[in-house]
Amino acid sequence: MNHRGHLSTEQRNANSTTIDRMSVSQAFDLVNSEDATIASAVARARGEICEAIALVVNALRAGGRLIYVGAGTSGRLGILDATECQPTFLTNPEMVQGVIAGGSEAITRSVEGAEDCSGDGVAAIGENEVGVNDVVFGIATGGTTPFVHGAIAEAKRRGAKSVFFACVPVDQVADKADVSIRVITGPEVITGSTRMKAGTATKMVLNMVTTIAMVQLGKVYQNLMVDVNTTVNAKLVDRGTRMIEVVTGVTRDDACELLQNSGGRVKVALVMHTRGVDPAAALNLLAEAEGRVGDVLSGAGSA
């Protein structure tokens, strides 16, 4: 068994050694103050995070995929981020995926030991038929997870791009990914509980990666999620309607009609109204602009 006590995520936090004797309010203040350090830790990894986002954008533009790979909390956060892309940005479920050690059972309950076999990580990459247009994004906050390292190695062997995310310095645990993101979160309030600060850092980075990538792919206009899936619930129908109102200035009733006539597609509705075209022509204009609705709207009058 390897000794992991040297890892910064495994060390004891001097600020929390008396948390078992603190009141609820004192414990809250402690946890809150520790969490407040995470944004600055993420900022210090700005260069590597931006480099990873560029890899993802290039891959998705080429028809490739972003595949998160992790175990435990890291794997679940990857699956969460991948799943949320579908309703938010109307992505194909294949475009952003999450793979977790232990399979689907590990999403809702702990499957201890699943992370310890690098061969299983290799197999997971094979099962997903990873290729040269894909990016495999390994998440291992403590840096040592064999499942993740195996997946990265196999992804590289297949010619895919790779990203590794950890919350420990590279001199504590090395990796062989194309881009290595190290967000140094330090000792946890509860020693070794990386579901806390390290988990928060992971969520922040993954949200940033996919959100900025989707913006670059034209799935956002101004700061509006114009590719939102308005067919799934009443909240998103309302959001889509309000976006049409805001951008076009039409009444709510007219915005509702536009959304309905567009088949629930906000971008199509915006182009239909602004360019005075039918849904089919709006789709063609969007295709010519590679989905960037701002480019289509700025060309109003030249259809």
Question: Known catalytic residue: 127?
Answer: no
Q: What is the pLDDT of residues 215-231, one digit of tens each?
A: 999 999 999 999 988 87
- Taking the domains of the chain in order of start, what are their residue ranges? 8-216, 234-298
- CB within 8 A of 67, min separation 6: which ones? 96, 97, 98, 99, 128, 130, 134, 135, 136, 137
Annotated catalytic residue: which of 51, 84, 245, 257? 84
**CATH class for the domain made up of 8-216:** alpha beta
What digits encode the pLDDT tens for the residues 257-283? 999 999 999 999 999 999 999 999 999
Q: Please check the confidence at residue 232 and state whether its pLDDT lies above 80.
A: no
Annotated active-site residue in 10, 34, 48, 115? 115
Q: Is the pLDDT of residue 300 over 60?
A: no
pLDDT over threshold 70, residue 157:
yes
So what's the pLDDT on residue 301?
45
Asked about 188 being catalytic, the answer comes back as no
Give residue 112's pLDDT. Answer: 74
Distances (CA, A) of 261 to 17, 113, 300: 61, 52, 20
What DSSP string runs through 31-49?
Answer: HHHHHTTHHHHHHTTHHHH
Q: At the top level of CATH, which class does the domain 234-298 belong to?
A: mainly alpha
Burial class (CB in 10 A: 0-12, 13-18, 19+), 204: middle
* Closest CA relative to residue 68, chosen from 190, 174, 203: 203
pTM: 0.91
Q: What percent of the chain has pLDDT over 70?
A: 97
